[in-house]
Amino acid sequence: MNEKAPAMQDQDEAHDESTPRDELAELRRQNEDLLTKLKYLQAEFENYRKRVDRDAEMVVKFAHELLLSRLLPVLDEMDAAVVALEGKAGEGVRMVRDNLVKVLQEVGLQEIPSKGRVFDPYEMDCIEQVPDPEMKDGAVKSVVRKGYRLHDRVLRPAQVIVVKNRGETNG
Amino acid sequence: MAKIIGIDLGTTNSEAAYMEGGTPRIIPSAEGSAYGGKMFPSVVAFTKDGILVGEPAKRQAVLNPDRTVMQIKRKMGTDYKVRIDGKDYTPQEISAMILRKIKTDAEAFLGQPVNQAVITVPAYFNDNQRQATKDAGKIAGLDVLRLVNEPTAAALAYGLDKKGEGKIAVLDLGGGTFDVTLMEMGEGVFEVIATSGDTQLGGMDMDNTSSSGSPPSSAPSTAWTSRATSRRCRGCATRAKRRRSN
């Protein structure tokens, strides 16, 4: 009854054959694996730390981004009011608008200069092309909606109408 | 350990994410997005200054329509070629340009090389379309470890694989397509029972519909019909839709 089956005996013998040298080799292999994993984790943690630092900087730098994005349509309306209103009313709105722009500039908002410049797809959105023999191909003829940057990031591209006299402009 | 990124290579928009501390984090596009969020348009443009991908490509499309390629995903797995300045480009090559931008943005964001990716594909994609997607990844320098069905990815994102067994329906309303998939899940495995949808219906159609209509009686007819006004109206419709969706 106590006799082991032949297969189990083989297993026991195989187990008995593992020498201290084998065990040492196995432990060394495991140790190397762990060291490699540790190095990867250290490198990953270092990258993570850099990303977190950078993220924290960006959060501070662009803290006003959402608020500014929501204020831009208000600024557009004030621009339109300045154009539409005449006399003292128009002058008053212009002063309020200028004061608002000054405050927004202090937190990093900058208007993207567009009119007359060469169309730049990184800062401008072309919504129409028109011929104008007096202007160069690819130049911005008019700005339909002003574009703004917050520091170095485009908050809203300028919507522009671009001159196209020949068959091709940007190809 | 090298990061593996997950890529949603969409018909209209694309984006990528990676796992950090067990949760997915989206990688922002380098140029940002005009309407917020972190995805960018799946648009490629060939200009005299080089190849543009994403927002800049879309912004110059009016000026350069013949060299601007949109919705190339619809042509994946076919013999279709885009001919630009006498040179033919396969859908795989165009998609690779989108994937290369994702790779570059991911490397800049993560601060390490990114060579491995998982890409999602519609459940209805056949073998040719799946192979074409893998080829696009290879051209872009990415080792595509796996293609995951889009509805499966959506189910995984909601943790449904850990919620036992059952049947689920995934409704994927994208920018240009609307896919509906019925799946059976069990032991973390998702099996597609049926998939269908409308390949010509998406968020862009909502934008077009809600921004077209009769002009107010006070509006001058020339102003209403100009292309610039139409583009502005569509932009407003997109922003309004996104604001209501959030």
Cβ–Cβ below 8 Å for A127 and B228:
yes
Are A165 and A132 within 8 A, CB to CB?
Answer: yes
- Residue A45 CA to residue B177 CA, distance in Å, equals 40
Q: Is B85 a catalytic residue?
A: no
Percentage with pLDDT > 70 across chain A: 87
Burial of residue A142, with CB atoms counted within 10 A of its CB: 0-12 exposed, 13-18 middle, 19 or more buried: middle
Q: Is B3 a catalytic residue?
A: no
From first to last of its 246 residues, what are the pLDDT tens digits of chain B?
678 999 999 999 999 999 987 788 899 888 765 445 578 999 999 999 899 999 999 999 989 999 999 999 999 999 999 999 999 999 999 999 999 999 999 999 888 899 999 999 999 999 999 999 999 999 999 999 999 999 999 998 888 887 888 899 999 998 888 999 999 988 878 899 999 988 888 888 888 888 877 666 666 655 556 666 777 788 788 888 887 876
Which of B56, B66, B112 has its CB closest to that of A47?
A: B112
Q: Is B172 a catalytic residue?
A: yes
Are B231 and A127 within 8 A, CB to CB?
Answer: yes
Cβ–Cβ below 8 Å for B63 and A119:
yes
Whether A1 shows a pLDDT value over 50: the answer reads: no
Tokens of B32: 């940002």
Cβ–Cβ below 8 Å for B67 and A124:
no
Which of B63, B85, B231 has its CB closest to that of A162?
A: B63
Are B33 and B42 within 8 A, CB to CB?
Answer: no
The active-site residue out of B73, B75, B101, B103 is B73
From start to end of A40-131, where are the E strands? Answer: 109-111, 124-130
pLDDT at B215: 66
pLDDT at A15: 56
For chain B, how many residues are written? 246
Percentage with pLDDT > 90 across chain A: 55
Are B9 and B122 within 8 A, CB to CB?
Answer: no
- Rounded to the nearest angstrom, the gap between the alpha carbon of residue A102 and the centroid of all alpha carbons in its chain is 26
List, as own/partner pairs, every contact residues B34-38 make where C-beta atoms lie below 8 angstroms and the sequence separation is at least 24, other chains included. Answer: B34/A125, B34/A156, B34/A157, B34/B59, B35/B238, B35/B239, B35/B242, B36/A69, B36/B242, B37/B242
Give the residue from B43, B60, B101 with the most A CB atoms within 10 Å of its CB, the best one to mutate.
B60
Which of B32, B48, B60 has its CB closest to that of A121?
A: B60
Token look-up 């990061």 returns B3
Q: C-alpha distances in angstroms, A29 versus A26, A33, B71?
A: 5, 6, 51
Backbone φ, ψ for residue B10 (5° rounding): -90, 165
pLDDT at B110: 87
Chain B environment of A44 (Cβ under 8 Å)? 1
Per-position DSSP letters for B181-200, written without gaps between them? EEEEEETTEEEEEEEEEETT
- pLDDT, one tens digit per residue, over A30-56 is 999 999 989 988 888 888 888 889 889
Whether A90 shows a pLDDT value over 70: the answer reads: yes
Cβ–Cβ below 8 Å for B1 and A51:
no
Token look-up 């190339």 returns B72
